[in-house]
Structure 1
């Protein structure tokens, strides 16, 4: 994308979010990165509300070009400094859009419903302006990272697996369950805290509901093994992975 392309996307999404009708979205804040102070920018990043500034990878790939021109965030709160949103849109961070719902607790269906309602709200406003999400009839929705092409959806939960996470073969077991495990704060988090971000590993060829069910069932299996370890039972990860 050129600088003017990013600015066009940023203006378009700003215009869309100003016209959101849903009660939980209509009073949100839209904040371009260029309008933030340095302190505000760092505070939002540290609170995991805003995306990180470019690293070596994003610079080398071109995703960090002209940073932070054309980058922005929409959050469904009236005061982003004192409130924590549960629905956000990142504009021009990696893809044109990254749409997120984050909720505490285990209500996966509620989080998914909230996400879909927000996506539909944005999609309606885009279509009123003659735009739509890029979609290939064979591959599905198109995004910057090839691993996300298809549904483009990543559904995850934070799970405490203090004992299981230390065992050799843990990540291989996660892969066999068609999941992926990251640190609590994403793929660049290398600090072991015993809390993992567990999500669906696949995006392509399956429906959103199927991928969520794979994640839920896999996480339930991991929690079951963790509870066995907590009470002192021996666990053979290799045998579990084979089964």
Structure 2
């Protein structure tokens, strides 16, 4: 899997052109650089270990990023592939367009597993993590809302209304630091990729509005 992904990504051009870093044999300097950039993922928790997601760690794992560090691919961190587009600021359109371009370029060379029908349900893209089935899209922003951080009930109320997941910026099961949260869409199945991103966008707009009013 890692060899397939590495050779596929080496063919990306233009804005997506970059470097693949295998975890096996990674130098200390490269490791520290990736940690400083918040790119380097860690071995999974006891639940992932029990599900055999961490066998032979770190063999077969790797990280790719483009020169601008706005496009990343994780290989075998948990799901076989995690394709990431990100940048500072609020230009959601630019982030989404880059993601779509990257996904399409990769899929031309490396077809994704897709399940069209299961009784009355469409499973969509097949992933190791069952919560990512469907569109697989998790659109998130890191946003500082200190007033809402002090009013957790209101924050959770808005999150529930817009189907949002609220967590700390260091990942699942982490607390917010300095009033900064990672806010993302909760639903992956039963809606389009655009709708998944739109849910997050609408929820963030509402959170910003309430934060300013408090």
Q: Fold-level match, TM-score > 0.5? A: yes
The answer to whether residue 89 in structure 2 is matched with residue 110 in structure 1 is no
Distance 1:25 1:177 in 2: 32
- Greater CA drift, 174-183 or 202-211: 174-183
For structure 2, the 5+ residue unaligned runs are 117-121
Equivalent pair of 1:19/1:125 in contact (CA under 8 Å):
no
- Greater CA drift, 11-20 or 99-108: 11-20
Question: Hey, what does 1:13 align to over in structure 2?
Answer: 5
- 3-state SS, counterpart of residue 199 of structure 1: strand
Deviations 1:158-184 (A, max 9, x none): 111101122141224312221111112
Distance 1:19 1:183 in 2: 35
1:206 CA displacement:
0.3
- Which residue of 108, 122, 125 corresponds with 1:124? 108
Question: Hey, what does 1:23 align to over in structure 2?
Answer: 14
For structure 1, the 5+ residue unaligned runs are 1-8, 78-83, 127-131, 230-243
- Which residue of 42, 49, 54 corresponds with 1:64? 54
Kindly report which structure 2 residues correspond to 1:88-167, keeping only aligned pairs within 5 A, or say none: 88-126=72-110, 132-137=111-116, 138-167=122-151
- Which residue of 167, 171, 179 corresponds with 1:182? 167
**RMSD, aligned α-carbons:** 1.6
Moved over 4 A (4+): none
Larger Rg: 1
1:188 CA displacement:
3.8
The answer to whether residue 24 in structure 2 is matched with residue 34 in structure 1 is yes
Distance 2:51 2:88 in 1: 34
TM-score when scaled to structure 2?
0.91
